[in-house]
Structure 1
Amino acid sequence: MTVLITSGSAYSDIDAFACATALAEALQHKGQTAVAWLPGPPNLTIPAEFHHHPAFGLSCPAGKYDVILVDLSDPAHIPDELAVEQVVAVFDHHFGHEEFWASSDAKTFIEPVGAAATLIWEEILSLKIAQYLSAVVLKALCCAIVSNTACFRLPLTTQRDRDALETIEGMLAIETDWRERFLREMDDGIFKNLKRALTTDTKIIQLTATQSFCVGQIEVHDRARAIESLGSLVAAGEDLPDIVVVAARSVERTSLVSTRIKVAEKLADFYGVKVAKKDALFECRLPSFQLRKMMLQDFSRVMLD
């Protein structure tokens, strides 16, 4: 049976793209019929050179499939066109749904690494076909690991992430200074298209049947520029998500930004920090460097209070 490799439907980031396309190509080299399909539009973590990849289909390819989920384990976010019963394997680095998959027949690889791409690379190594992968998917895997670990600055980075990136870079024969160039290019894209960056990198968290909240994220070098740019969006009449995670590499710290003072005060109380006001924005500066995926459970507790 054909294997369909997919991720969430709201948007696609570089980790989902790299995982889906690399695993599909690997399985094809093993003689399986495999296709990568990403229903969510590419966000600005994905370099423009990948935006027209055939994985970004407008509709689910026709046919019956065994489904592999990558960078996704929440069953609520499986594309509507597919059923949970079709899932035969799950590769993810987000926690919270292990019990659900334990009661299913799917093989699960939900592990504490910086990037889901690292899990896919390890799977490719186990299949013994790494040498046959195209430069396109190898580069995508590199971009995913660099993006998801903020070039190894995040505390969730593991030696497995480092080993994977260094091995793939060696296969591509590229210099390590490409990493910072890639991050700077991603920054430029975010600041030039900040509204789109937020729209395509916002998660909706369902607390109860009637209560939900939105968390956007931008990972950039310059915190001050990010706060100023968010303020300009609000001044122009644009709405922001309930919480915007601003992960600033230059200071290796994260700010939580909201236009709602009550939300900011709840966050400040939870994390033991102060609220700083700048025009219509309220900012909580955390003492550590974190991405949204590391704080979602905290946010849920805060918003339920």
Structure 2
Amino acid sequence: MIVVTSGSAYLDVDAYAGCIAFAQLLNLQGLAAKAISSAPLNQSISQTLRDWPVGLDAHHATEHDHFVMIDISDPSHFDTCVDAQRVVEVIDHHPGFESYWQERLGPRAAIEAVGAACTQVYERWVEAGLFHAMNSSTAALLATAILDNTLNLKGQINTARDQQAYAALADKAGLAQDWPARYFSECQTAIEHDLPAAINKDLKRMDAQLPLPRVIGQLTVWNAQHLLQTQRATLVSTLQAHDPDWLLNLISIDEHCSYLLVGSPASAAHLAELLDVTFVEQLAKVPGALLRKQILRAALKLADKPLSK
């Protein structure tokens, strides 16, 4: 059995959709595969998406299974069911482990600078000549993951490959023109319903050697101004409980910007230099939405640390 899975901390929509769609592709190719995860689903997987007739499989990994990793390449953060020695393929778009996997898997390690891992998964369906066989719910999941990861196709990380993939998938799924606004608004409603839980499901701890806050959270909403005006104290207290040195990247899709909220003046000073932004009362507004992985990439470059391990 081939187990298609992702990380251990949480599952976002890119990992969720990518695992489901890639397992379906392998099965169509005659390879027994299951999409599984032991991680909690975060708020990017809205209730509407969870109600669609495609989802994760029920399967307990065994010592005979092999693993395909989607949207992750750092072995220290793999799902707890994964034996890294039995990983046979990696599809990811986060920097840091390109050489590590290239040495082990060669062409079966695809760690590429695209906006979404689901763009890569879509391309695998096309390369296999099986896109015609993809069901509409899977197409809708993949399209939504691309929307989320590329910030409605307007983020700095968005590429022509992401745009092409989204157009083909949205057409196949029959997504309405207002789907992006509906999706991101639903995510925001769920986030606001239990803000601490939403933050805790999208936190990453940074390498202490990097010029970054030790903990970075990220939330993507349709419009962030209301959230900052009404729940800033909750945002601060939730992050502060993890570490006094923190950053929250609050992405506002409708405003096409990011708000960077930090826990200390020292963090603000470091990030102001790193990203060339101005903080006022430990809050900075960045035109053009910014992703956490882009902040990490800037820090790696500043630290002169190779993007491969």
The bucket for the TM-score relative to the shorter chain is 0.7 to 0.9
2:173 alignment partner in structure 1: 172
| CA deviations over 1:209-234 (Å, ceiling 9, x no partner) | xx982110011232322323442315
C-alpha deviations, 1:10-35, integer Å up to 9, x for none? 00000000100001011111111100
Pairing 1:1-305 to 2, within 5 Å after superposition: 2-51=1-50, 55=56, 60-105=60-105, 107-207=108-208, 213-233=214-234, 238-240=238-240, 242-277=246-281, 282-299=282-299
In the aligned structure 2, how far is the partner of 1:191 from the partner of 1:65?
A: 39
* TM-score normalised per structure 2: 0.86
Unaligned 5+ runs, structure 2: 305-309
Query: Is the CA contact 2:6–2:78 (under 8 Å) kept in the aligned structure 1?
Result: yes
Deviates more, 1:265-274 or 1:94-103: 265-274
Taking a change above 3 Å as real, the CA distance of residues 149 and 238 of structure 1, as seen in their structure-2 partners, is closer
AA of the residue aligned to 1:22 = A
Aligned-residue offset at 1:63: 4.7
1:102 partner SS: helix
Alignment RMSD: 2.5
CA distance 1:251–1:290, shift in 2 (3 Å):
same
Larger RCO (CA under 8 A, 6+ residues apart): 2
**Per-residue deviation, 1:300:** 6.3
SS at 1:124's partner residue?
Answer: helix
Q: CA deviation at 1:56?
A: 7.0
Displacement of 1:8 in angstroms is 0.5
Query: In 1, are the aligned partners of 2:275 and 2:298 still within 8 Å (CA)?
Result: no
Distance 1:105 1:300 in 2: 24
Shift of 1:49: 4.1
Shift of residue 132 of structure 1? 2.3
1:239 CA drift (Å): 3.9
Alpha-carbon distance in 2 for matches of 1:252, 1:239: 24
The offset of 1:248, in angstroms, is 1.7
Q: Give secondary structure in 1 for the equivalent of 2:34.
A: strand
Q: Is the 8 A contact 1:113 1:158 kept in 2?
A: yes
Percent identity over the alignment? 24
Deviation, structure 1 residue 303: 10
Is this contact kept in 2: 1:220–1:226, CA < 8 A?
Answer: no
- Matched-pair contact (CA < 8 Å) for 1:68–1:87: yes
- The CA deviation string for residues 269-292 of structure 1, in whole angstroms up to 9 with x for no partner, is 333333212xxxx21223442111
- Give 2:26's aligned amino acid: L
Give the secondary structure class of the aligned counterpart of 2:206.
strand
Distance across 2 between alignment mates of 1:287 and 1:172: 31
Separation in structure 1 between the aligned mates of residue 258 and residue 186 of structure 2, nearest angstrom: 20
* Per-residue Cα deviation, 1:230-251 (whole angstroms, up to 9, x for no partner): 423158x544461100112233
* 1:252-277 deviations in Å (ceiling 9; x for gaps): 22221122222122212333333212
Distance in 2 (CA, whole Å) between partners of 1:288 and 1:212 is 21
Name the aligned partner's letter for residue 271 of structure 2. L
Going from structure 1 to structure 2, the CA distance change for 1:111 and 1:302 (only over 3 Å counts) comes to closer
User: CA 1:270/1:162 → structure 2, altered by over 3 Å: closer, same or farther?
Assistant: closer
In 2, Cα distance between the equivalents of 1:173 and 1:49? 15
Q: Distance in 1 between matches of 2:192 and 2:235?
A: 14
Q: 1:130 to 1:84 in 2, by over 3 A?
A: same
Gaps of 5+ in 1: none
How far apart are the structure 1 equivalents of 2:57 and 2:110? 24
Task: Determine helix, strand or coil for the equivalent of 1:295.
Answer: helix
Q: Which segment is superposed worse, 131-140 or 20-29? A: 131-140
The 4+ residue runs of structure 1 with deviation greater than 6 A are 300-304
